[in-house]
Copies of this chain bind each other. A is one copy, B any other.
Amino acid sequence: MRISESELIERYFIGRGAARAGDVRIGIGDDAAVVAVPRGCELVLTTDVQVEGVHFLKSAPPRALGHRALAVNLSDIAAMGGEPSWMLLSLVLPDARERWLREFSRALGALATRAGVALVGGNLSRGPLSITIALVGLVPAGKALRRDGARAGDDLYVSGTLGDAAGGLELLRRRGGISTAAARYLRRRFEYPQARVALGQALRGIASACIDVSDGLYVDASRLLSASECSATLELEALPVSAPLRQLCGSRALTLALSGGEDYELCFTAPDRQRAALARLARRLRLPIARIGTVRRGAGGLQLRGLDGKSVTQFSALAFDHFGVTQTGRSRRHRR
C-alpha cells in the first residue's frame, strides 16, 4: 500500500456532507477547521466511538458503518433539540482498503448531506478498526432539551417503535438468516438507525425532558426520571411494537421493546396540555409518537403496569454497559 493519508482523505472525505449556510470558513486541509456560529445559538457537543466486535459485528458492511457512526451521534444532538452542523471523523483502519473506504465514505456523506452536516476535519490512522465521530450542533440559547426537566403529572412518550434494532441484531447473528421482508426490516433498523433530529428540534418548547433510547427504553427512561428526581408508571399495553417484531419474535417482542438497545428513538415527557400539539407533530413528521405512561412525584424509578392493569414486578430489564452489567431488574445476563 503506497497511498498516503492525505491522498486517501482527498479521495474519500473532502467535501462530504453539506454545510447549511456557507459557515465553514476553513475546512479539511489546515491544522484545524474554522466555522462561524450564528448569533443567539449555543453549541451542542457530542462524540461516540464504534469499535469492531464491540459495537458492530466483523461482518458489518462498510455502508452500514458509515451510516451508523454518524446516526448515533445525530441521535444525541436530536435528544438535545439541536441542529447538527459540523463533524470530525477519526477513522482507525487495519489497512487502506479502498473499496471499504469508498462505501463507508459514501454512506457517511449521504447521511451527512441529508442531515445538513459538513465533514470539516479528522484523521486516518492504522490500527484495529474503530470509528469515532465528534459532532457539533446548534441550539437557540437556553432552549436545549435536558434530561432533568420532567415534572409530576407530565405524560411519558416515545417515538417510533421499540425493540426492532435488538431483533435485527439477533437476526444478523444467526448467519444464513431469514430473508423475509420482516427480517430485512428488523436488520435494517439495526444497521441503518434513523436519528429523530426533526422531532428533537420540534420538541423544543413542548417537551419538559428528553433522552434518546440507545440502551433500551427501560434503562433510558429510568435515567431521565432519575435526573428529574421523579418516577413514572409505564403502561405495557401502550408500548409501540412493530408488526415485523411481533411476527418474528412473538412473545419476546415486549421484552425486546423494553430492554433492547440501539433503537435511537426519543423518549420524552410533556405536560398534558401538549397532547394536541404532539398529535399534530406526529402527523406532520409521519412518525408515531406513543403516550406510554405518566410521571409521578418522588423516587422509585419506572413501574410497569401490565395488560390486566396490575403492576408487573417480574420483568428483568438489563442495561448494556461496556464495563460490566448494570442491573436494573432481577437477573443478570450479558446482552452481548
Contact = CB atoms under 8 A, between A and B. Distances in A.
Interface residues of A, number: 78
Interface stretch (A58-66, A154-162, A183-191, A316-324): A316-324
A41 interface: yes
B4 A321 contact: yes
A242 interface: no
A250 to B, nearest CB: 31
A87 to B, nearest CB: 9
Interface string A1-41: 11111101000000000000000011001111111110101
A51 B88 CA distance: 17
A137 B144 CA distance: 21
Contacts of A227: 29-30
A124 interface: yes
A54 B90 CA distance: 14
Given A32-B80, A34-B139, A146-B26, A126 B323 contact: yes
A33 B44 CA distance: 5
Contact of A47 (B6, B80, B122): B122
B49 A4 contact: no
A325 to B, nearest CB: 7
A281 interface: no
A306 interface: no
B323 A5 contact: yes
A45 B29 contact: no
Taken together, the copies of this chain in the complex come to 2
A134 B88 contact: yes
Contacts of A47: 88-90, 121-123, 132, 134
A36 B147 contact: no
A125 interface: yes
Given A31-B212, A212-B31, A43 B136 contact: yes
A221 to B, nearest CB: 13
Contacts of A199: none
A144 B34 contact: yes
Contacts of A89: 47
B76 A32 contact: yes
Given A54-B126, A92-B51, A144 B79 contact: no
Interface string A232-254: 00000000000000000000000
A42 B49 contact: no
A228 to B, nearest CB: 12
A82 interface: yes
A32 B44 contact: yes
Interface of A: 1-6, 8, 25-26, 29-37, 39, 41-49, 51-55, 75-77, 79-80, 82, 86, 88-90, 92, 95-96, 120-128, 130, 132, 134, 136-137, 139, 141-142, 144, 146-148, 210-212, 227, 319, 321-326
20 contacts: A3-B324, A4-B319, A4-B323, A5-B321, A26-B80, A31-B79, A32-B77, A37-B37, A43-B43, A45-B120, A45-B134, A47-B90, A47-B132, A48-B90, A48-B123, A49-B125, A49-B132, A51-B126, A96-B324, A124-B322
